[in-house]
A and B are shown apart, each in its own frame.
Chain A
Amino acid sequence: MTGTPLLSLAIWVPIVGGLLVLATGSDRNAPMARWLALVSAVLGLLVTIPLYQHFDTATSAMQFVELSPWIHRFNVNYHLGVDGISMWFVILNAFITVIVVIAGWEVIKEKVAQYMAAFLIMSGLMNGIFSALDGVLFYVFFEASLIPMYLIIGIWGGPNRVYAAFKFFLYTLLGSLLLLIAFLWLFLEAGGKFGILDWHELPIGMTAQTLIFWAFLISFAVKVPMWPVHTWLPDAHVEAPTGGSIVLAAIALKLGAYGFLRFSLPIVPDAAHAMAPIIIGLSLIAVIYIGFVALVQTDMKKLVAYSSVSHMGFVTLGFFIFNQLGIEGAIVQMISHGFVSAAMFACIGVMYDRMHSRQIADYGGVVNTMPKFAALFMLFAMANSGLPATSGFVGEFMVVLGAIQFNFWTGFAAATTLILGAAYTLWMYKRVVFGAIANSHVAELTDINGREFLFLALLAAGVMAMGLYPFPFTEVMHASVDNLLKHVAMSKL
């Protein structure tokens, strides 16, 4: 497989596929658009599989590297590569795209081609973010990915979709603009280089490090999102169509966290150490306070959105305690959250398609009419609350252990999520699924069909596999995380 530009394929197969889907035109050709989208998504997934097969776990160096000049004047290169940190996200992203295409199959009836194309293009752009090793290339993918999501929320979203789409776009753009200034400064400081790996080696003074750290922080914190800049997320989730919510939660939220690993920690390590207490504080607020906020939600999507913020708080906590367990746990948590949150939103979508309501109060006793669905939903709810043998447990457990190594009380505070997460998820599950049939609408529900079973089962397989045998996920990241920790420990002053 050497020599095949796998990462380029991972980026461009979905994008070209998306453009082809667009070319099918109006809704008269909707079936063709759907099948073409499925083929592109599956192809997109297939080209990422060799990334895992041929991945060398012994090295922390970038693999599958592609390097060719792009903008000569600024020494900008089309430089792609993955290491143990980013590799799984490329695969996860391609996998989620397949899920999204299947999940939107019959549900989306208007502008089918545009819907499928938006998701495929989005998927390609996000693969670009995870594999870019050049600052400008990263930035370009980072910002361009806002466009499809803006359209997805705005065109196929709920009643308040325009507000949510604008809030999403402007909020995240605000963050990324400061990132651009930081990149330009680093470019000049590095003597005319945009290479991210060059920046890792660049010595920087403390004042500059602090400023850059804040520029990075604002950008990535909005994307993650961290408390208190998380307010766009519940709005975006509530208004977005099911597919949009899935991609947003499963992949888009990971971009910010990935940014911390690729930029903040290795490029400005001294500032990262100095600011760590602030980040840890914000993360704990996200874990605990947002956990309580999730508890009182009446809208299921909002509840899961807040639960995402809380889980991502766990991730940022794991990064800034600077030990192997913390960072690896956080990455595992990111991947796991990719499966679990996608599954939770998919489940809510399944119910919403039937009832056209996301209010918990409108449900009750769903298990009586949708037993198969209730069983799968149960699994995902358990994973969301971090039950052992599901993927949710592995990451949380590792981060808690890491946090206790770092400081007992930090670990203790973080561990409350095991209670809070279980409380809000299972309480919601109980109110929606168990009990007597609440009303005539619930009584008329039909259980999931083959298509719905397919994508929920695929997600369930991911959740279970990762929970029972996390080794393939953790094994690839050891070398890279080691190397990252070495960078973080080395002062650049």
Chain B
Amino acid sequence: MNFVMPDFIPAAAEIFILAMACVVLLADLFFGKTNRWLTYFLTQASLVGAAAISAWLILNHGGDIMLTFGNMFIRDLMADFLKLVVYLAVALVVLYGRGYNALRGLDRGEYYLLVLFATLGMMVMISSNHFLTMYLGLELLSLSLYTMVALDRESARSTEAAMKYFVLGALASGLLLYGMSMIYGATGTLEISGVAGALHNHMALTPVLTFGLVFLVAGLAFKLGVVPFHMWIPDVYQGAPTAVTLMIGSAPKLAAFAMAIRLLVFGLFDMATHWQPMLIFLAVLSIALGNIAAIAQTNLKRMLGYSAISHMGYMLLGLLAGIGVDGGNHGANAYSSAMFYAIVYVLTSLASFGMIILLSRAGFESEELDDFKGLNKRSPWFAAMMMIVMFSMAGIPFFIGFFAKFWVLQAVVHAGHVWLAVFAVMMSLIGSYYYLRVVKLMYFDEPAEDAPIAAAPDMRFLLSVNSLAIAALGLMPGQLMSLCAYVLTGGQ
């Protein structure tokens, strides 16, 4: 058996992050006690370095598809682009969370290490061309996140959330693995492009394949956090320290999107007529339950958790609109709309949890809705920023959230599911109520306290940039839209 040296270039960013994770670990071990800023700095530097590598790959290889490690790992334009967004999101997570963690004794080396490993997991998921690499990436991400939720060892609530997350997450991984094994049994390959080829050529749809698909979709639904696999979301969002919720609620959604695209579209596209109805079912339930249950919440983190469920439902609308009722293929447009939705959601989600962190201080979480009362009196600037975020989430123009919904709905109408679009907009009407309620608390009510906002200047600045970007992208949504469509079609 001869060993062929694999091509490392496509996976250079992953290798870099892994190496840097070790560097961060060692650096923190030796200098971390007194110089935590070094750990922080190195973490940000690793993300910047990885971004440089991914950007270099895009510039030099553009839309080329590069397979390596025995076709287990794929590098294409979509992968590199999504990774760039992931770096950005994670960098903001680390930056927003820093002050929060420091005040609560969570600013430990493990936090940064886990963040880097989670990032690596996401990158592997985004770039996997094989069921095993997909599973590997997913577990790396999930295990890091479980640990991060439990990072606050003193908090019973966090521990409970971590436990729940872990047990349900393990179950979902099991489902996913089970589904993968069935598909392997039916097609004889674990390689995603191989599965696609086998299905395309001759495969009759055997029951085992359909069963496999069901389990696969179930596992995927858990990771996306859509109904009926959403149980963990509200508890974990609320129970985890806000800096960790920020992490869970942002970048991993992109990885989950990539997972859906790789498995369902790149792998099982010939079964689209089977998985589309499943996604319709998941999307309808998520949009309904997410929006309705969010109304009853008094805790902002929990409310945003339910809102995340509904947003992932809207993203699924884009994924399921690939094949029209008339059988026409609208894939490129529909999947780009889902990708655009995911990116926009990550951006708004970062700003919303960032705002909770901004208002928190030592011994005060600021995670109840009432903590936002009268924010307009305390800080008109950040009240306006939060208002932008809330209206964007509600899908009111001129904010980017509107265009995300707009494109997804366009894809759904194009596919011929007009009733689904009508349902989705009616639910977003219900949804707008609870976002409006946050605006109401900030603007119409008197403040319950008038403590000044005690956040670091870099955080204030970047949070403002983040929120203003939501408004600015809403004025000029065309470029990002074209970019999403461009990378999804591999640069055509």
- Is B444 a contact of A174 with CB atoms below 8 Å? no
Give min CB distance, A144 to chain B, whole Å: 5
Q: A169–B390 Cα gap in the complex (Å)?
A: 14
Give min CB distance, A472 to chain B, whole Å: 34
Most B-side CB within 10 Å, residue of A73, A76, A140, A150? A73
Q: Does B293 contact A (CB under 8 A)?
A: no
- Is A184 a contact of B398 with CB atoms below 8 Å? no
- Is B418 a contact of A185 with CB atoms below 8 Å? yes
- Is A143 a contact of B396 with CB atoms below 8 Å? yes
- Is A166 a contact of B436 with CB atoms below 8 Å? yes
What are the interface flags for A143-183 relative to B under an 8 Å C-beta threshold, 1 for contact and 0 otherwise? 11011001100110000011001100110011001101100
Q: Does A70 contact B (CB under 8 A)?
A: yes
Q: A73–B477 Cα gap in the complex (Å)?
A: 10
Q: A336–B160 Cα gap in the complex (Å)?
A: 65
- Is A178 a contact of B422 with CB atoms below 8 Å? yes
Given contacts A25-B380, A140-B397, A184-B409, contact A150 B482 (CB under 8 A): no
Counting chain A residues whose Cβ lies within 8 A of the other chain, the interface size class is 35 or more
Give min CB distance, B181 to chain A, whole Å: 40
- Is A143 a contact of B429 with CB atoms below 8 Å? no
- Is B444 a contact of A154 with CB atoms below 8 Å? yes
Interface residues of B in 23-71 (CB under 8 A from A): none
Give min CB distance, B475 to chain A, whole Å: 9
Chain B residue nearest to A215 (CB atoms) is B422
Q: Does A187 contact B (CB under 8 A)?
A: yes
Q: Does A427 contact B (CB under 8 A)?
A: no
Q: A423–B5 Cα gap in the complex (Å)?
A: 94
Q: A150–B438 Cα gap in the complex (Å)?
A: 13
Give min CB distance, A80 to chain B, whole Å: 15
Q: Does B291 contact A (CB under 8 A)?
A: no
Given contacts A146-B396, A181-B413, A184-B421, contact A73 B478 (CB under 8 A): yes
Secondary structure dominating the interface of B: helix
* Contact residue among B376, B410, B436 (Cβ-Cβ distance under 8 Å from A184): B410
Given contacts A114-B380, A154-B444, A184-B410, contact A140 B402 (CB under 8 A): yes
Chain A residue nearest to B377 (CB atoms) is A111
Q: A154–B441 Cα gap in the complex (Å)?
A: 10
Q: Does A188 contact B (CB under 8 A)?
A: yes
Secondary structure dominating the interface of A: helix
* Contact residue among A26, A114, A144, A166 (Cβ-Cβ distance under 8 Å from B397): A144
Give min CB distance, B275 to chain A, whole Å: 24
- Is A71 a contact of B443 with CB atoms below 8 Å? no
Given contacts A150-B436, A170-B429, contact A139 B410 (CB under 8 A): no
- Is B396 a contact of A144 with CB atoms below 8 Å? yes
Q: A74–B403 Cα gap in the complex (Å)?
A: 11
Give min CB distance, A395 to chain B, whole Å: 32
Q: Does A72 contact B (CB under 8 A)?
A: yes
Residues from chain B with Cβ under 8 Å of A170 in the complex = 429, 432-433, 436
Residues from chain A with Cβ under 8 Å of B477 in the complex = 71
Q: Does B13 contact A (CB under 8 A)?
A: no
Give min CB distance, A170 to chain B, whole Å: 6
Q: Does B87 contact A (CB under 8 A)?
A: no
Counting chain B residues whose Cβ lies within 8 A of the other chain, the interface size class is 20 to 34
Residues from chain A with Cβ under 8 Å of B432 in the complex = 169-170, 173
Given contacts A177-B425, A178-B425, A181-B425, contact A144 B440 (CB under 8 A): no
Residues from chain B with Cβ under 8 Å of A147 in the complex = 391, 396
- Is A177 a contact of B429 with CB atoms below 8 Å? yes
Most B-side CB within 10 Å, residue of A74, A170, A178? A74
- Is B443 a contact of A154 with CB atoms below 8 Å? yes
What are the interface flags for A54-98 relative to B under an 8 Å C-beta threshold, 1 for contact and 0 otherwise? 000000000000000111111010000000000000000000000
Q: A139–B397 Cα gap in the complex (Å)?
A: 9
* Contact residue among A25, A76, A146, A155 (Cβ-Cβ distance under 8 Å from B443): A155
* Contact residue among B391, B409, B440, B482 (Cβ-Cβ distance under 8 Å from A180): B409
Q: Does B157 contact A (CB under 8 A)?
A: no
* Contact residue among A72, A165, A188 (Cβ-Cβ distance under 8 Å from B444): A165
Interface residues of B in 397-425 (CB under 8 A from A): 397-398, 402-403, 406, 409-410, 413-414, 418, 421-422, 425
Residues from chain A with Cβ under 8 Å of B403 in the complex = 71
Q: A216–B382 Cα gap in the complex (Å)?
A: 37
Give min CB distance, B83 to chain A, whole Å: 23
Q: A216–B119 Cα gap in the complex (Å)?
A: 47
Q: A25–B439 Cα gap in the complex (Å)?
A: 19
Residues from chain B with Cβ under 8 Å of A74 in the complex = 410, 481
Residues from chain B with Cβ under 8 Å of A140 in the complex = 397-398, 402
- Is B440 a contact of A166 with CB atoms below 8 Å? yes
- Is A184 a contact of B444 with CB atoms below 8 Å? no
- Is B397 a contact of A184 with CB atoms below 8 Å? no
Residues from chain A with Cβ under 8 Å of B425 in the complex = 177-178, 180-181
What are the interface flags for A112-154 relative to B under an 8 Å C-beta threshold, 1 for contact and 0 otherwise? 0010000000000000000000001001110110110011001
- Is B440 a contact of A154 with CB atoms below 8 Å? yes
Give min CB distance, B397 to chain A, whole Å: 4
* Contact residue among B391, B396, B406, B444 (Cβ-Cβ distance under 8 Å from A162): B444
Given contacts A139-B397, A170-B432, A180-B425, contact A162 B478 (CB under 8 A): no
Residues from chain A with Cβ under 8 Å of B439 in the complex = 150-151
Q: A141–B475 Cα gap in the complex (Å)?
A: 11
Give min CB distance, A83 to chain B, whole Å: 24
Residues from chain B with Cβ under 8 Å of A141 in the complex = 397
Q: Can you spell out 24 A-B residue pairs with CB atoms less than 8 angstroms apart?
A: A26-B380, A71-B403, A71-B478, A71-B481, A143-B397, A143-B402, A144-B396, A147-B391, A147-B396, A154-B440, A162-B444, A169-B432, A169-B436, A173-B396, A173-B429, A177-B425, A180-B409, A180-B425, A181-B418, A181-B425, A184-B410, A184-B413, A184-B421, A188-B414
Which B positions have Cβ atoms within 8 angstroms of A?
376, 380, 391, 396-398, 402-403, 406, 409-410, 413-414, 418, 421-422, 425-426, 428-429, 432-433, 436, 439-440, 443-444, 477-478, 481-482, 485
Closest 8 CB pairs of A and B: A71-B478, A140-B397, A177-B425, A184-B413, A154-B444, A73-B481, A144-B397, A72-B478
Inter-chain pairs besides A73-B485, A114-B380, A144-B397, 16 sampled, C-beta below 8 Å: A25-B380, A71-B477, A73-B482, A76-B478, A140-B402, A144-B396, A146-B396, A151-B439, A154-B440, A166-B440, A170-B433, A174-B429, A177-B426, A184-B409, A187-B410, A188-B413
Which A positions have Cβ atoms within 8 angstroms of B?
25-26, 69-74, 76, 111, 114, 136, 139-141, 143-144, 146-147, 150-151, 154-155, 161-162, 165-166, 169-170, 173-174, 177-178, 180-181, 184-185, 187-188
